[in-house]
Amino acid sequence: MNKTELKRLLIYLAFSFGLAYAWFFVTNMKFVKWQDLSNPMQSFIALGMLAPLLSHILTRLVTKEGFKLSGKDSMMLGISFKNGKWIFFLIAILLPWIYLELSNALTILFFRELYDPEYYVSLEIDKRLLNIFPLAAIVSGVFGSFAAFGEEAGWRGYMMPKLLKLFGADEDTSLSKGKKLRATILACITGGIIWGLWHAPLTCIGHNFGTDYPGFPFVGIARMCLFCTLMGIMLTFVTVKSGSVWPAAIMHAVNNAGPSILNGYINPERAGTWITKYFSGIWQMAVMLILAIICLTLLLSDKSKIRVKECIEN
Amino acid sequence: MGGLLYKDFVSIKGKRVSITIIIIVLLFLLFRVIFPGNGYNEVFTAMTETGEIINIVDTFFVMSLPVFLYTFIMLVSLSFNKTISYDEKNKIRSYLFSLPVDKKKYVASKYVFVGILTYTYLSVYMILNVISAAYLGEIETVTNSSNLCMALAIPGMSLALLMNAVDIPVNLLLGRAKAVTIQTSFWLIVGFAVVALFLFGDLTVLDRWDISKLVEWADTHAFELTLVSIVSPVISLLLFYVSYRITTFFYERKEGIDE
């Protein structure tokens, strides 16, 4: 294990967790539940998403790694559409919409009691607005992606390359295909757990899953780690393939904006049984798991390796 | 490309600008926390014509946002003009084109630089908006004004892109001196039009102008505003790209360098 890389990673994590936890604490000292906070206050607390970016910059200052914008060991801020890399930007824009709509369709199909054709009315959403909501979410996601960029510049721009290197899954390490797959999976799981734990203060006040579930907040934190691992695999895939953190930032922002029409027809208050109440979200995880497996396979394919090498050489 | 972008960053004194913006955001945050407004602070209140009690601090913070938006839109244009002046003053183009840098790359760098600036200023504006809105009370007029300011962010920055989609080709194809003449003429025409309006126009229009009606209209026309937010960046980006292709086409065929 490369001790220098491990040390750098630990410095980054100390900054990232320290800054974000401090921000979450200072902005919500009374630990008010997420649902009880006003929308503007929720956005204000969410500015803590800029902590990983700040940590990335501070770590590079401390470790004197330099601020190379693109290429190997860089901040991965460059954008290139050459060699078919534009496709990963398109994937980043559309994939969250596809998997959210698909998982919502499956939820309605298997938990029919949740279907409420008038639910959007109770949310005070105009039907015309609901129909164009995915487009609005995508546009606002792409243009207003600064918060998601703040996270991705840290997690995908610094932590994941270090983890891949530490586990021996980077391009420079010559391992057999099986060992490389194992190393990549281990790196992604470790990255997902770290990312999930970083969200813990928010999960503890009910962000993402609320507060009304058995095993609160530990089950929520574990579920967040699982979600972050699956999401992290997809984000790492688009980052490595495009050689830039921008597609990941866009994908993260679009995902956070929740571009789904069917969301306006799923009424969680209609859950009659505990299975529906606590397990209706399982379809989102299932769809994400399938996509994560596809992304991992594509990430480790020989064609992909050649492309990554080409990107680095270019 | 990275080198060309860094040159432009240096030409606008990027480090100093970045530090200034960070300080402005931090000061804005600090003042917002010290003067939290309606939800937390019941002094500094005033009554509107409709009898609604609003907090002056909230109003001050919300009303400062359009000023920031206007300043940022102008800063994008000013920064671009500054890079052109810097290039001409230091004969950068003569030097660049003697190296293996083609004209297409130079033009592209200008468009990318303006794109980066627009995205950065849009992000800063959104951060200021979030900070301002965090401590607002539940007074409808102020909340609606704040929402309107947020809704204007993307169309406002689309306007910045559109302005530069015209400004960049004019500066690169006609040269800085002619571009300045055209810009001055344009703003003089606008100025004369305003003077003409005051001299010969129907000034009752201004009398009827009511900002609260605009805010109310925005609140009841969420669909139309959302549609503008979706369409405006897509159209402006498309026009920005068309402008890039046209500029590249003519710039590659242009003889001589304006220096």
* Predicted confidence (pLDDT) per residue in A13-37, tens digit: 999 999 999 999 999 998 999 999 9
Give the list of residues 6+ apart from residue B5 with CB closer than 8 angstroms, or none. B109, B112, B113, B116
Q: Is A266 helix (H, G, I), strand (E, B) or coil?
A: strand
Q: Binning pLDDT at 50, 70 and 90, where does residue A163 land? A: very high
In this prediction, residue A204 carries a pLDDT of 95
Going by C-alpha positions, the residue among A234, A257, A31 that lies closest to residue A144 is A257
Average pLDDT, chain A: 89
- A146: contact with B, CB 8 A cutoff: yes
CA–CA dist B114, B122 (Å, integer): 12
- A70: contact with B, CB 8 A cutoff: yes
* Predicted confidence (pLDDT) per residue in B179-238, tens digit: 889 889 988 999 999 999 888 888 887 777 777 777 778 778 878 888 888 888 999 999
Q: Which segment of A81-90, A175-184, A198-207 scores lowest on mean pLDDT? A: A175-184
ipTM associated with this complex: 0.86
pLDDT surpasses 80 at B35: yes
Instruction: Give the minimum alpha-carbon distance from A163 to chain B in angstroms, rounded to a whole number.
Output: 27
In this prediction, residue B164 carries a pLDDT of 92
Taking CA–CA distances from B225, the nearest residue in chain A reads: A129
Tell me the percentage of chain A whose pLDDT exceeds 70.
95
In this prediction, residue A307 carries a pLDDT of 53
Going by C-alpha positions, the residue among A249, A243, A240, A238 that lies closest to residue A314 is A243
Hey, are the CB atoms on A47 and B130 less than 8 Å from each other?
A: yes
Of the partner residues A38, A78, A129, the one whose CB lies closest to the CB of residue B223? A129
- Sign of the alpha-carbon torsion through A16, A22, A28, A32: positive
Taking residues B60-89, report their average pLDDT: 92
Burial class (CB in 10 A: 0-12, 13-18, 19+), B147: buried
Q: Binning pLDDT at 50, 70 and 90, where does residue B144 land? A: confident
pLDDT surpasses 90 at A2: no
Instruction: Give the minimum alpha-carbon distance from B187 to chain A in angstroms, rounded to a whole number.
Output: 30
With tokens 């990255």, the residue in question is A191
How many beta-carbon pairs under 8 angstroms link A with B?
58
Taking residues A240-260, report their average pLDDT: 92
What pTM was estimated for this model as a whole? 0.88
More confident residue, B40 or A212: A212
Give the list of residues 6+ apart from residue B81 with CB closer than 8 angstroms, or none. B167, B171, B176, B179
pLDDT surpasses 70 at B163: yes
With tokens 């997902």, the residue in question is A192
Q: Calculate the dihedral angle through the C-alpha atoms of B105, B111, B115, B120, rounding to the nearest 10 degrees.
A: 80
- B134: contact with A, CB 8 A cutoff: yes
Beta-bridge partners for B10: none
Q: Where are the alpha helices (DSSP H) in B35-152?
A: 56-89, 92-96, 103-134, 140-151
Hey, are the CB atoms on A78 and B222 less than 8 Å from each other?
A: no
Q: Binning pLDDT at 50, 70 and 90, where does residue B83 land? A: very high
Axis crossing angle, helix B103-134 with helix B2-11, rounded to the nearest 10: 60
- Asked whether the beta carbons of A144 and B154 are under 8 A apart, the reply is yes
- A312: contact with B, CB 8 A cutoff: no
Query: Domain residue spans in chain A?
Result: 3-313
In this prediction, residue B39 carries a pLDDT of 58
Hey, are the CB atoms on A139 and B119 less than 8 Å from each other?
A: no
Q: Is A31 helix (H, G, I), strand (E, B) or coil?
A: coil
Tell me the percentage of chain B whose pLDDT exceeds 90.
42
The amino acid occupying position A45 is: I
Taking residues B122-146, report their average pLDDT: 87
Q: Which segment of A43-52, B47-56, B59-68 scores lowest on mean pLDDT? A: B47-56
In this prediction, residue A27 carries a pLDDT of 92
In this prediction, residue B145 carries a pLDDT of 85
Hey, are the CB atoms on A70 and B222 less than 8 Å from each other?
A: no
Peptide bond into B36 cis (omega under 30): no
In this prediction, residue A306 carries a pLDDT of 47
In this prediction, residue A314 carries a pLDDT of 47
Of the partner residues A69, A142, A144, the one whose CB lies closest to the CB of residue B2? A69
Q: Binning pLDDT at 50, 70 and 90, where does residue A238 land? A: very high
Tell me the percentage of chain A whose pLDDT exceeds 90.
58
Spell out which residues of chain B touch residue A78, defining contact as CB-CB under 8 Å.
2
- Asked whether the beta carbons of B173 and B252 are under 8 A apart, the reply is no
Query: Domain residue spans in chain B?
Result: 2-253
More confident residue, B142 or B118: B118
Q: Binning pLDDT at 50, 70 and 90, where does residue A151 land? A: very high
Tell me the backbone φ, ψ of residue A115, rounded to 5 degrees. Answer: -70, 125
Q: Binning pLDDT at 50, 70 and 90, where does residue A259 land? A: confident
Could you count the other beta carbons within 10 Å of the beta carbon of residue A201? 20
With tokens 């299932």, the residue in question is A286
DSSP A115: B
- A77: contact with B, CB 8 A cutoff: no
pLDDT surpasses 90 at B118: yes
Tell me the backbone φ, ψ of residue A131, rounded to 5 degrees. Answer: -70, -30
In this prediction, residue A177 carries a pLDDT of 77
Spell out which residues of chain A touch residue B130, defining contact as CB-CB under 8 Å.
40, 43-44, 47
- Asked whether the beta carbons of A95 and A291 are under 8 A apart, the reply is yes
- B126: contact with A, CB 8 A cutoff: yes
Hey, are the CB atoms on B227 and A132 less than 8 Å from each other?
A: yes
